[in-house]
Amino acid sequence: MKTDLHSFFAERAWVQGRWAHDVLLSVDASGNWCGIQTGTPLALRTNATVLSGPLLPGLVNAHSHAFQRAIAGLTERTSAAAGGVGDNFWSWRDRMYRAAARITPDQLEAIAAMLYAELLLGGYTQVCEFQYLHNAIDGAPYADPAEMSLALVRAAQRVGMGLTLLPTLYMRSGFGAAGLREDQRRFSSTPDRLMRMIDSLQRQTRALKHVNVGLAIHSLRAVDDVAVKEVAAFAARASLPVHIHIAEQTQEVQDCIAHTGQRPIEWLMRHVPVNAHWNLVHATHTTTQELKAVSASGAAIVICPSTEANLGDGVFDYPGYAGVNGQWSIGSDSHVTRSWTEELRLLEYAQRFAHRRRNVAAQESANESSAAALFEGALAGGRSATSLALGSIALGNRADFLVLDAKASALLGVPTDYLLDALVFSSPDAHCAEVFVAGEQTVRQAQLGADASAVWPQIQQDFVRTMSALWRTHA
């Protein structure tokens, strides 16, 4: 029988989609919630740790390319090659490849440690790492094919971030291509190599805290039909979460139609047994029928509003997907922002721009609050993205939570029932005072100040050193 490891008391906590008062929360020795009591009498709070502010469950960041943190803010000038026009996703991708071609395992670890610390400070407690940077700089395999993936594991363990590692299959440069371009040489993999890498990673991470392994298919344009079906069958046998980029760009949709006669999601749903383990990243350009098919399959869509805006992808059809009760999660992808409040705010504001009405999320979900509708939607998608018991304060779920800074300017004077609304829609963002993963503190506000532990300054120093090395001749 499991015993309590620790108890926490919060005057306000987000439980079952609303604010509850005087909440006593107990965590067992496995780091899972084992007790949740609202309206707790004073006498029962005696041995609990009293939290300094409102408590929210931690969010899953369902889509990350950690190495792209190294180019955040460095792609916002128009390409000289484009002559000042035509700058788009594909020109951005060429610049991203130039960074990917140079990063070493040690540098990747430094970049990821900085990123994961930032994500924790922003209230994410688990990140799904869509990892396709497999090979050495010259394109040859490392002695351990999982070398780059293990750098990400070390980074996550260093800062206490939960990690769902998704080694990614990447085989060709586009529909019908025979192989990869020279600037994609580090991404090269095959189904057999990917499956062996996953087996190796599972063995090497089995004893580590808060690490699990799934797989990713980069995209239909990057993987042939036979390979897609092969790794899908492997994932099904092992009950692994599966992630795939799909329908992000209109050119991708057009190329897929030209090559297969079908749209990307249409092809996937007809040829692969997609189920609740699948996560379709972006799905920006869809039809009503495709959204219905995704929802009916039990799969989820991973929406990445800040990256989709930054790259000029387009606007996800939130009303259409909400109308068929589709499940979704949130991701920060290229990490131009590391804040889930900004992701949710951008998701809602994009809908307001597109549909010229307010509180779209609230109306489409029959929820009075847009912030609550968005937050609950993002929480629910975390389980699909990770195949873990995450995403809410509920018995048996991992005890991931964040404590808001009650003195943050965005929250001052706000009535309790509107705290989440202010958190999402009032700037500047309210920072987390503390963040806990499996009941253990990973972040405290003091880490940002002069009395910080040695960990945070060293992470910053390592990151600055890495950025200097990467960009010394590219400023």
Active-site residue list: 282, 333
**401-404 and 55-57 as β-strands: parallel, antiparallel, unpaired?**
antiparallel
- Is residue 133 within 8 A of residue 105, CB to CB? The reply is no
- Is residue 306 within 8 A of residue 332, CB to CB? The reply is yes
How many beta carbons lie within 10 A of that of residue 349, not counting itself?
A: 15
Burial 427-466 (b: 16+ CB within 10 A, else e): eebbbbbbbbbbbbebbbbebeeeeeeeebeebeebbeeb
Cα 121 from Cα 200, distance rounded (Å): 31
Label residue 257 left, alpha or beta by phi (over 0 means left) and psi (-120 to 50 means alpha).
alpha
Cα 67 from Cα 110, distance rounded (Å): 10
Indicate the helix (H) or strand (E) that contains 467.
helix 455-471
DSSP 189: -
Q: Which two tokens stand for residue 127?
A: 């990140």
Residue in this structure with the two tokens 């990973």, named with its chain if needed: 442
Q: Which two tokens stand for residue 172?
A: 């060709």
Q: 432 Cβ partners below 8 Å, 6+ apart? A: 121, 122, 123, 402, 403, 404, 405, 443, 445
Helix 264-271 × helix 250-260 angle, to 10°: 50
Cα 360 from Cα 364, distance rounded (Å): 6
